[in-house]
Amino acid sequence: TILISIDGFRPDYLDRGQTPTLSHLAAHGAHAKMRPAFPSITFPNHYTLVTGVRPDTHGVVNNRMEDPERPGVSFTLADRVVAADPIWWRGAAPLWVVAARQGVRSATMFWPGSDYELEGVRPAYWRAFDQTLTDFARVDTLLGWLDAPEAERARFFTLYFDIVDTAGHRFGPDAYETMAAAAQVDAALTRLLAGLEARGQAANLVIVSDHGMAEISDARLIDLDAMMPAGAGRGVWDGPLAGVEPVNGADISQLVGVHPNGECLRKQDAAQRWGFGANVRVPAVICLAAVGWRYRSAQIPPYRTPSLGAHGYDPAAPEMAALFIANGPAFRAGIELETFDSVSVYPLLADLIGVQPAAHEGDLADTAPARVR
């Protein structure tokens, strides 16, 4: 079983004529539009896919986050030393940890969290994330792991591609460059299929994305700092989803409520409304922008410039829909599933590799119509 993530790949990208291999796999297998977990951001959703629980439960609440147990420390994608601290990942064990405890080997060709030892376990084979490694080289590494002696071979693999998300952010979801990135990933998947065929290796492929992408512009910015008294709040996150902590107990309640192009809630209310806010790492007030708009705080360095695409919006927004394709001997052909929540990928994977899943929030029934029984 190979779990493949194409970061930032919207399901409608399949309709643009640039992905013949993906389109073939969808047509001859099962496919669906998948609803990402809140927030529709990369690390939270990748960890949801391999734990079956939502970010409020597993604790990876954003690509950047803080924890009261580590005052003055921020988890970021770039700081591998901080990210290696087990506290950030302890809310739920990923599938490769659960599988290892049941004697099933895993091999992770990049997946958020797989760089680190979690609960004393690492995948049998793994690579630290290196964005410069080409898509073909990632495929070739995975195929090389398949050449291990049978007694040492993994049963569960992950493969991760980031270039569609990168292009979508920089150029926007409708840009030529984004479609060129999708075509490049499609070519890498063609290479994977050829490598599997050359080895006579049947495989179940579960191809997903973590979220979609929406068009943005600098003409649609919301000044987060201007929404509260000067010095009263500290911006922890900005973008489509913003988070604010009060400074020295200051009152930031005037943030709360519906305002033009967005809405802010106290975290306890967000937990009820959005299923996100109970975790200690969620800031005191969180604000969700309307699709296409973003919050901006001068307290936070810009994440990416230039930027014509973004995600992090309401997971129910069509622009945030995630990809799901399942193809292989375990799946029926020509099946279009109803939209389902991404937490349900985890029990499917556990079932495919024959392990007892840990407690999760998914439902195996969501993908049952696609299965060969």
The C-alpha atoms of residue 370 and residue 80 are separated, in whole angstroms, by 39
Ramachandran bin of 249, using left for φ above 0, alpha for ψ from -120 to 50, beta for the remaining angles:
left
List CB contacts of 160: < 8 A, sequence separation 6 or more.
4, 5, 7, 109, 110, 111, 129, 138
H helix intervals, 203-291: 267-273
Is-catalytic flag, 108? no
Ramachandran bin of 3, using left for φ above 0, alpha for ψ from -120 to 50, beta for the remaining angles:
beta
24 φ, ψ (degrees, to nearest 5): -65, -45
The C-alpha atoms of residue 101 and residue 79 are separated, in whole angstroms, by 29
The C-alpha atoms of residue 369 and residue 361 are separated, in whole angstroms, by 19
CA distances from 335 to 236, 274, 327, 348 (A): 42, 30, 10, 16
With H, G, I as helix, E, B as strand and everything else as coil, classify residue 336. strand
Catalytic residue among 19, 42, 48, 51: 42
12: DSSP letter: G
Which residue do the tokens 């490769």 mark? 96
Q: Which residues are catalytic?
A: 42
